[in-house]
Amino acid sequence: MVNATSSTSNRVDIGNATTSDDVKVVSVSNDAPAVFPFGNTTVTWTVKDGAGNTASVTQLIQVVDRTPPKLVMPSDIVVNATAFETPITIGQATASGIMDQSPKITNNATSLFHFGKTIIKWTAVDRFGNTNTLAQTITVLACGKSYSDYNLVMGTSGNDILTGSIVSNLIIGLEGDDIIRSGPAGDCIIAGNGDNIIFGGAGNDIIIAANGNNIIKGGTGNAQIYVGNGTNIIEGGSDRDTCYLGEPSKDTVVNCQSKRH
Protein backbone atom coordinates (compact mmCIF):
# COMPACT_ATOMS: atom_id res chain seq x y z
CA MET A 1 0.00 0.00 0.00
CA VAL A 2 1.42 3.37 -1.01
CA ASN A 3 0.20 6.95 -0.70
CA ALA A 4 -0.87 8.60 -3.92
CA THR A 5 0.98 11.56 -5.35
CA SER A 6 -1.20 11.69 -8.47
CA SER A 7 -4.55 10.41 -9.70
CA THR A 8 -2.95 8.54 -12.61
CA SER A 9 0.85 8.44 -12.41
CA ASN A 10 2.19 7.02 -9.16
CA ARG A 11 5.62 5.45 -9.07
CA VAL A 12 5.72 2.33 -6.91
CA ASP A 13 8.64 0.14 -5.91
CA ILE A 14 6.99 -3.27 -6.25
CA GLY A 15 10.07 -5.21 -5.12
CA ASN A 16 11.53 -8.37 -6.67
CA ALA A 17 10.18 -11.89 -6.82
CA THR A 18 12.30 -14.79 -5.50
CA THR A 19 12.26 -18.18 -7.18
CA SER A 20 13.51 -21.74 -6.74
CA ASP A 21 13.37 -24.71 -9.09
CA ASP A 22 14.98 -28.13 -9.63
CA VAL A 23 15.97 -26.89 -13.05
CA LYS A 24 17.62 -23.56 -13.68
CA VAL A 25 15.24 -20.57 -13.74
CA VAL A 26 15.70 -18.76 -17.01
CA SER A 27 13.35 -15.78 -16.65
CA VAL A 28 11.22 -13.85 -14.18
CA SER A 29 8.86 -11.23 -15.59
CA ASN A 30 5.85 -9.17 -14.58
CA ASP A 31 3.25 -7.03 -16.30
CA ALA A 32 3.55 -4.03 -13.99
CA PRO A 33 3.03 -0.63 -15.60
CA ALA A 34 5.68 2.06 -15.30
CA VAL A 35 3.30 4.15 -13.17
CA PHE A 36 0.18 3.16 -11.26
CA PRO A 37 -3.26 4.77 -11.16
CA PHE A 38 -5.15 5.46 -7.96
CA GLY A 39 -6.83 2.36 -6.55
CA ASN A 40 -5.99 -1.34 -6.91
CA THR A 41 -3.80 -2.85 -9.62
CA THR A 42 -3.02 -6.57 -9.90
CA VAL A 43 0.51 -7.37 -11.08
CA THR A 44 1.15 -10.86 -12.45
CA TRP A 45 4.61 -12.35 -12.00
CA THR A 46 5.66 -15.25 -14.28
CA VAL A 47 8.67 -17.50 -13.82
CA LYS A 48 10.03 -19.89 -16.49
CA ASP A 49 12.61 -22.63 -16.00
CA GLY A 50 14.98 -24.28 -18.43
CA ALA A 51 12.52 -27.08 -19.16
CA GLY A 52 9.88 -24.65 -20.36
CA ASN A 53 7.74 -24.92 -17.24
CA THR A 54 6.05 -21.73 -16.05
CA ALA A 55 4.34 -20.58 -12.89
CA SER A 56 2.49 -17.37 -12.12
CA VAL A 57 1.52 -15.51 -8.96
CA THR A 58 -0.21 -12.17 -8.45
CA GLN A 59 0.66 -9.15 -6.36
CA LEU A 60 -1.88 -6.51 -5.33
CA ILE A 61 -0.70 -2.89 -5.49
CA GLN A 62 -2.93 -0.45 -3.59
CA VAL A 63 -2.54 3.27 -4.18
CA VAL A 64 -4.49 5.18 -1.53
CA ASP A 65 -4.98 8.82 -0.55
CA ARG A 66 -3.76 9.55 2.98
CA THR A 67 -2.59 13.12 2.34
CA PRO A 68 -4.40 15.97 4.15
CA PRO A 69 -6.04 18.41 1.73
CA LYS A 70 -4.29 21.67 0.98
CA LEU A 71 -6.10 24.51 2.74
CA VAL A 72 -5.65 28.11 1.56
CA MET A 73 -6.78 30.55 4.22
CA PRO A 74 -8.31 34.01 4.03
CA SER A 75 -6.09 36.69 5.53
CA ASP A 76 -6.13 37.67 9.17
CA ILE A 77 -8.33 40.72 9.73
CA VAL A 78 -7.92 43.81 11.90
CA VAL A 79 -10.92 46.17 12.05
CA ASN A 80 -12.31 48.93 14.20
CA ALA A 81 -15.51 48.12 16.03
CA THR A 82 -18.72 49.66 14.76
CA ALA A 83 -20.82 48.23 17.60
CA PHE A 84 -20.48 46.20 20.78
CA GLU A 85 -20.65 43.19 18.47
CA THR A 86 -19.26 44.03 15.05
CA PRO A 87 -20.37 42.24 11.85
CA ILE A 88 -17.32 41.19 9.82
CA THR A 89 -16.97 39.46 6.46
CA ILE A 90 -14.19 36.98 7.17
CA GLY A 91 -13.62 35.71 3.62
CA GLN A 92 -13.60 32.12 2.41
CA ALA A 93 -11.00 29.39 2.58
CA THR A 94 -10.38 27.10 -0.39
CA ALA A 95 -9.17 23.52 -0.39
CA SER A 96 -8.03 20.81 -2.76
CA GLY A 97 -6.76 17.26 -2.41
CA ILE A 98 -4.87 14.78 -4.54
CA MET A 99 -7.99 12.79 -5.38
CA ASP A 100 -10.78 14.97 -4.01
CA GLN A 101 -10.60 18.42 -5.58
CA SER A 102 -13.49 19.78 -3.53
CA PRO A 103 -13.10 18.84 0.13
CA LYS A 104 -15.78 20.00 2.53
CA ILE A 105 -14.79 23.21 4.34
CA THR A 106 -16.22 24.31 7.68
CA ASN A 107 -15.37 26.93 10.30
CA ASN A 108 -16.49 27.83 13.81
CA ALA A 109 -17.02 31.55 13.15
CA THR A 110 -19.97 33.54 14.39
CA SER A 111 -21.48 36.42 12.43
CA LEU A 112 -20.63 39.04 15.08
CA PHE A 113 -17.32 39.68 16.83
CA HIS A 114 -16.49 41.16 20.23
CA PHE A 115 -13.53 43.39 21.04
CA GLY A 116 -10.14 41.72 21.08
CA LYS A 117 -8.88 38.66 19.24
CA THR A 118 -11.00 35.78 18.01
CA ILE A 119 -9.41 32.64 16.58
CA ILE A 120 -11.43 31.02 13.80
CA LYS A 121 -10.64 27.39 13.02
CA TRP A 122 -11.12 26.32 9.41
CA THR A 123 -11.22 22.59 8.65
CA ALA A 124 -11.12 20.82 5.30
CA VAL A 125 -12.21 17.15 5.09
CA ASP A 126 -11.91 15.13 1.89
CA ARG A 127 -14.00 12.08 0.96
CA PHE A 128 -11.31 9.75 2.30
CA GLY A 129 -11.45 11.28 5.78
CA ASN A 130 -8.20 13.21 5.53
CA THR A 131 -8.37 16.52 7.41
CA ASN A 132 -6.46 19.76 7.68
CA THR A 133 -7.19 22.53 10.20
CA LEU A 134 -5.73 26.05 10.16
CA ALA A 135 -6.49 29.22 12.10
CA GLN A 136 -7.49 32.75 11.11
CA THR A 137 -7.24 35.63 13.59
CA ILE A 138 -9.86 38.38 13.75
CA THR A 139 -8.87 41.42 15.81
CA VAL A 140 -11.46 44.05 16.72
CA LEU A 141 -10.05 47.36 17.95
CA ALA A 142 -11.75 50.23 19.73
CA CYS A 143 -11.01 53.33 17.65
CA GLY A 144 -7.61 51.99 16.63
CA LYS A 145 -6.58 50.79 20.09
CA SER A 146 -7.04 47.73 22.23
CA TYR A 147 -10.22 47.94 24.28
CA SER A 148 -8.07 47.33 27.38
CA ASP A 149 -6.43 50.75 26.89
CA TYR A 150 -9.65 52.46 27.98
CA ASN A 151 -11.84 52.85 30.99
CA LEU A 152 -15.03 51.02 30.03
CA VAL A 153 -18.40 52.77 30.39
CA MET A 154 -21.08 50.26 29.40
CA GLY A 155 -24.70 50.98 28.64
CA THR A 156 -27.74 48.71 28.65
CA SER A 157 -30.49 47.93 26.17
CA GLY A 158 -32.60 50.68 27.75
CA ASN A 159 -32.34 54.48 27.73
CA ASP A 160 -29.08 55.35 29.49
CA ILE A 161 -27.14 58.41 30.59
CA LEU A 162 -23.45 57.63 30.11
CA THR A 163 -20.64 59.95 31.17
CA GLY A 164 -16.93 59.54 30.62
CA SER A 165 -14.37 59.86 33.39
CA ILE A 166 -11.21 62.01 33.35
CA VAL A 167 -9.20 59.26 31.62
CA SER A 168 -9.71 57.94 28.08
CA ASN A 169 -13.00 56.06 27.98
CA LEU A 170 -14.58 53.43 25.79
CA ILE A 171 -18.26 54.37 26.05
CA ILE A 172 -20.61 51.78 24.59
CA GLY A 173 -24.30 52.42 24.21
CA LEU A 174 -26.48 49.48 23.30
CA GLU A 175 -30.08 49.69 22.11
CA GLY A 176 -32.16 52.56 23.42
CA ASP A 177 -32.15 56.35 23.25
CA ASP A 178 -29.03 57.31 25.17
CA ILE A 179 -27.47 60.55 26.36
CA ILE A 180 -23.70 60.27 26.18
CA ARG A 181 -21.14 62.79 27.43
CA SER A 182 -17.48 62.42 26.61
CA GLY A 183 -14.76 63.02 29.18
CA PRO A 184 -11.84 65.45 28.73
CA ALA A 185 -9.12 62.99 27.64
CA GLY A 186 -10.36 61.87 24.22
CA ASP A 187 -12.89 59.05 24.17
CA CYS A 188 -14.03 56.27 21.86
CA ILE A 189 -17.82 56.43 21.80
CA ILE A 190 -19.77 53.63 20.13
CA ALA A 191 -23.48 54.34 20.33
CA GLY A 192 -26.02 51.68 19.45
CA ASN A 193 -29.12 51.95 17.31
CA GLY A 194 -31.50 54.57 18.61
CA ASP A 195 -32.10 58.30 18.80
CA ASN A 196 -29.03 59.31 20.79
CA ILE A 197 -27.78 62.65 22.07
CA ILE A 198 -23.99 62.76 22.18
CA PHE A 199 -21.70 65.50 23.49
CA GLY A 200 -18.01 65.54 22.66
CA GLY A 201 -15.39 66.60 25.17
CA ALA A 202 -12.10 68.47 25.29
CA GLY A 203 -10.06 65.64 23.77
CA ASN A 204 -9.89 64.16 20.30
CA ASP A 205 -13.02 62.01 20.35
CA ILE A 206 -14.10 59.36 17.90
CA ILE A 207 -17.89 59.14 17.89
CA ILE A 208 -19.59 56.24 16.10
CA ALA A 209 -23.38 56.44 16.02
CA ALA A 210 -25.41 53.62 14.52
CA ASN A 211 -28.74 53.90 12.73
CA GLY A 212 -31.20 56.38 14.18
CA ASN A 213 -31.95 60.08 14.48
CA ASN A 214 -28.94 61.30 16.43
CA ILE A 215 -28.04 64.73 17.77
CA ILE A 216 -24.29 65.11 18.07
CA LYS A 217 -22.33 68.13 19.30
CA GLY A 218 -18.57 68.09 19.04
CA GLY A 219 -16.31 69.37 21.79
CA THR A 220 -13.14 71.42 21.69
CA GLY A 221 -10.89 68.67 20.29
CA ASN A 222 -10.47 67.28 16.79
CA ALA A 223 -13.38 64.87 16.51
CA GLN A 224 -14.18 62.13 14.02
CA ILE A 225 -17.93 61.61 13.83
CA TYR A 226 -19.55 58.64 12.08
CA VAL A 227 -23.31 58.27 11.66
CA GLY A 228 -25.43 55.54 10.09
CA ASN A 229 -28.76 55.77 8.33
CA GLY A 230 -31.27 58.22 9.71
CA THR A 231 -31.88 61.94 10.09
CA ASN A 232 -28.96 63.29 12.09
CA ILE A 233 -28.14 66.76 13.38
CA ILE A 234 -24.42 67.28 13.78
CA GLU A 235 -22.65 70.35 15.09
CA GLY A 236 -18.89 70.13 15.04
CA GLY A 237 -16.86 71.60 17.83
CA SER A 238 -14.48 74.54 17.94
CA ASP A 239 -11.54 72.66 16.44
CA ARG A 240 -11.23 70.63 13.22
CA ASP A 241 -13.84 67.87 12.87
CA THR A 242 -14.42 65.21 10.22
CA CYS A 243 -17.93 63.86 9.68
CA TYR A 244 -18.72 60.57 7.91
CA LEU A 245 -22.38 60.54 6.84
CA GLY A 246 -24.59 57.53 6.14
CA GLU A 247 -27.33 59.44 4.27
CA PRO A 248 -26.01 62.95 3.55
CA SER A 249 -29.29 64.17 2.04
CA LYS A 250 -31.05 63.61 5.36
CA ASP A 251 -28.39 65.02 7.69
CA THR A 252 -27.98 68.58 8.94
CA VAL A 253 -24.31 69.37 9.49
CA VAL A 254 -22.56 72.54 10.68
CA ASN A 255 -18.95 73.18 11.71
CA CYS A 256 -17.65 69.97 10.15
CA GLN A 257 -14.57 71.01 8.21
CA SER A 258 -14.55 67.73 6.28
CA LYS A 259 -17.61 65.76 5.20
CA ARG A 260 -17.34 62.26 3.77
CA HIS A 261 -19.81 59.66 2.66
Residue 236: phi, psi to the nearest 5? -65, 165
The predicted structure's pLDDT at residue 22? 79
Res. 4: pLDDT tops 90: yes
Number of domains in the chain: 3
The predicted structure's pLDDT at residue 23? 81
> Does 171 share its domain with 248?
yes
The predicted structure's pLDDT at residue 154? 97
Span 18-46, average pLDDT: 92
Cα Rg of the chain, angstroms: 34
Q: How far apart are CA 86 and CA 72, in angstroms?
A: 25
pLDDT band, residue 11 (cuts 50/70/90): very high
Which of 39, 64, 89 is a domain's end point?
64
The closest alpha carbon to 242, from 260, 230, 215, 228, belongs to 260
> Does 170 share its domain with 247?
yes
> Does 168 share its domain with 81?
no
Span 44-68, average pLDDT: 94
The closest alpha carbon to 192, from 88, 113, 82, belongs to 82
Angle, alpha carbons 257-168-212 (nearest 5°): 55
The predicted structure's pLDDT at residue 261? 72
Helices (H) and strands (E) in the chain, counts: 0, 25
pLDDT band, residue 21 (cuts 50/70/90): confident
pLDDT band, residue 258 (cuts 50/70/90): confident
Res. 190: pLDDT tops 90: yes
DSSP string of 202-248?
SS--EEEE-SS--EEE--SS--EEE--SS--EEE--SS--EEE-SSG
Domain at 109, CATH number = 2.60.40.10
Span 201-220, average pLDDT: 95
> How would you classify the pairing of strands 206-209 and 131-141?
unpaired
Res. 12: pLDDT tops 90: yes
> Does 48 share its domain with 135?
no
Question: Contact at 8 Å (CB) between 234 and 248?
Answer: no
Res. 72: pLDDT tops 80: yes
Contacts of 15 (CB under 8 A, 6+ apart): none
Res. 71: pLDDT tops 90: yes
Span 79-84, average pLDDT: 96
DSSP three-state, residue 79: strand
At 107-121, the pLDDT tens digits run 999 999 999 999 999
Residue 22: phi, psi to the nearest 5? -70, -25
Res. 257: pLDDT tops 90: no
Q: How far apart are CA 38 and CA 226, in angstroms?
A: 59
> Does 205 share its domain with 244?
yes
> Does 159 share its domain with 247?
yes
Alpha helices in 77-197 (DSSP H): none
> Mean of the per-residue pLDDT values for the chain?
95
Which of 141, 168, 186 is a domain's end point?
141
The predicted structure's pLDDT at residue 259? 75
> Does 131 share its domain with 161?
no
Question: Contact at 8 Å (CB) between 255 and 239?
Answer: no
In the 3-class helix/strand/coil scheme, how is 118-148 assigned residue by residue? EEEEEEEECCCCCEEEEEEEEEEEECCECHH
- First CA to last CA across the chain, in angstroms? 63
Res. 260: pLDDT tops 80: no
Q: How far apart are CA 179 and CA 57, in angstroms?
A: 89
pLDDT band, residue 40 (cuts 50/70/90): very high
Span 145-163, average pLDDT: 96
Res. 198: pLDDT tops 90: yes
Question: What pTM was estimated for this model as a whole?
Answer: 0.85
The whole domain housing 218 covers 149-259
The closest alpha carbon to 134, from 196, 74, 202, 224, belongs to 74
> Does 123 share its domain with 170?
no
Q: How far apart are CA 199 and CA 182, in angstroms?
A: 6
The predicted structure's pLDDT at residue 150? 98
